[in-house]
């Protein structure tokens, strides 16, 4: 495994066009695109890393996997009254479907869906308390108590978050929100601004690769059924309108973020964190996707089968 990912990291660093860093969040626009990291946590507890795997980056929408897991823990299947589980086929910040579908977002991973999930997990509590809970959960699954919110990114998002604010107010106009819109947005912007490295991410996803159980501690994080369902949502919706392309090329459940990270799950085998800040046109990490495609091909981990037998 070490030689496979060393080779992938070398190949990625040699590519000249590394994509464009997200510019609509000014703090993310400052990140050097010339960086790549990959970490692979196997279900037997071994962890492998290559590139700048200790460098922290903004996990952005990858945080939606953890907030969805928390929401399911608190409310179970009741969340599906407020959010759907179908791919949207639209960009992550799109508003068009919301009017037709009466303020019910297509899935928990587009922005409207994740803002709804933030409203659901708040249950009348202050953003500070909910964020402490989200952080506590992520630190627990990643086994790293130093994981924290990058306040600069959170403020940068807050200042330029007109689109997300529009989505939230539009949904609130249907009478769906249980908490004040500004507080829900504050919670959402802050959980998107959590900083992690690829090894944190790989470890944090292990429970999804191992039927809901963290294979290192032996603790059950979620039921096997829930892990399977979260993986299904990641496969179908985790890359927005690029989810089909990601399934076609990589063939693993995955969740991307505009910070350039991707968490991918190879059920029964491994959890993988990759990061490279340059994005493709859809807003998914360009080199991150390429690296996962190479890894899936070299290991035969695609859930759809191997390239050759």
Ligand X SMILES: NC(=O)CC[C@H](N)C(=O)O
- Residues annotated as catalytic (active site), given as ranges: 61, 64, 188, 240, 258
Question: What six digits make up the tokens of 151?
Answer: 């306040």
Distance CA 24, CA 245 (A): 24
Beta bridge partners of 285: 279
**Using the rule CB under 6 A, which residue among 49, 61, 187, 289 binds ligand X?**
61
Distance CA 44, CA 28 (A): 35
Kindly state the smallest distance separating residue 210's Cβ from ligand X, in Å: 26
Kindly state the smallest distance separating residue 266's Cβ from ligand X, in Å: 22
**Using the rule CB under 6 A, which residue among 60, 69, 231, 285 binds ligand X?**
60
Residue 93 binds ligand X (CB under 6 A): yes
* Residues annotated in a binding site for substrate: 61, 111, 157, 164, 188, 240, 258
**Using the rule CB under 6 A, which residue among 57, 66, 92, 301 binds ligand X?**
92
- Sole residue written with tokens 């070490």: 2
The nearer residue to ligand X, 5 or 250, going by C-beta atoms, is: 250
Distance CA 209, CA 217 (A): 14
The nearer residue to ligand X, 84 or 113, going by C-beta atoms, is: 113
Beta bridge partners of 271: 41, 265
Q: Which of residues 195-254 bind ligand X (CB under 6 A)?
A: none
Kindly state the smallest distance separating residue 192's Cβ from ligand X, in Å: 4
The nearer residue to ligand X, 53 or 258, going by C-beta atoms, is: 258
Contact pattern for ligand X over residues 156 through 195, marking x by CB under 6 A: -x------x---------------------------x---
The nearer residue to ligand X, 209 or 258, going by C-beta atoms, is: 258
> Nearest residue to ligand X, using CB?
61
What three-state secondary structure class fits 262?
strand
Distance CA 68, CA 187 (A): 14
The nearer residue to ligand X, 38 or 65, going by C-beta atoms, is: 65
Q: Which residues of 189-199 are buried (b: 16+ CB within 10 A; e: fewer)?
A: bbbbbbbbbbb
Kindly state the smallest distance separating residue 204's Cβ from ligand X, in Å: 16
Distances (CA, A) of 198 to 59, 81, 261: 10, 34, 8
Kindly state the smallest distance separating residue 111's Cβ from ligand X, in Å: 5
What is the size of the binding site for ligand X (CB under 6 A)?
11
Residue 257 binds ligand X (CB under 6 A): yes
Q: With residue 227 as reference, give the H or E element that holds it.
A: helix 224-237
Distance CA 59, CA 158 (A): 16
Q: Which of 154, 145, 111, 70 is nearest to 256 (CA)?
A: 111
The CA radius of gyration of the chain, in Å to the nearest whole number, is 18
Residues that bind ligand X (CB under 6 A): 60-61, 92-93, 111, 157, 164, 192, 257-258, 283
């Amino acid at each position: 495994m070490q030689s496979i990912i060393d080779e992938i990291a070398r190949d990625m660093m040699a590519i000249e066009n590394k994509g464009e860093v997200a510019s609509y969040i000014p703090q993310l626009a400052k990140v050097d695109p010339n960086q790549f990291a990959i970490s692979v946590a196997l279900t037997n507890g071994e962890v492998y890393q290559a590139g700048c795997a200790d460098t922290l980056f903004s996990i952005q929408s990858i945080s939606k996997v953890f907030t969805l897991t928390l929401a399911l823990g608190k409310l179970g299947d009741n969340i599906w009254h407020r959010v759907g589980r179908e791919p949207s086929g639209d960009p992550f910040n799109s508003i068009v479907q919301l009017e037709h579908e009466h303020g019910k977002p297509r899935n928990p991973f587009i922005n409207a869906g994740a803002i709804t999930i933030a409203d659901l997990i708040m249950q009348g509590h202050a953003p500070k308390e909910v964020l402490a809970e989200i952080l506590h959960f992520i630190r627990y699954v990643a086994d790293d108590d130093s994981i924290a919110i990058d306040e600069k990114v959170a403020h940068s998002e807050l200042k330029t978050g007109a689109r997300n604010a529009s989505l939230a107010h539009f949904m609130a106009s249907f009478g769906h929100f249980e908490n004040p819109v500004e507080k829900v947005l504050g919670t959402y912007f802050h959980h998107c601004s959590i900083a992690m490295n690829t090894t944190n991410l790989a470890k944090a996803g292990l429970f999804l690769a191992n039927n809901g159980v963290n294979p290192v501690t032996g603790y059950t994080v979620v039921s096997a059924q829930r892990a399977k369902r979260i993986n299904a949502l990641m496969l179908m919706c985790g890359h927005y309108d690029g989810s089909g392309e990601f399934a076609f090329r990589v063939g693993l459940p995955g969740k991307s973020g505009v910070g350039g990270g991707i968490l991918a799950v190879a059920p029964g085998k491994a959890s993988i964190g990759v990061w490279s800040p340059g994005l493709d046109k859809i807003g998914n990490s360009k080199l991150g996707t390429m690296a996962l495609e190479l890894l899936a091909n070299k290991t035969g981990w695609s859930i759809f089968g191997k390239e050759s037998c």
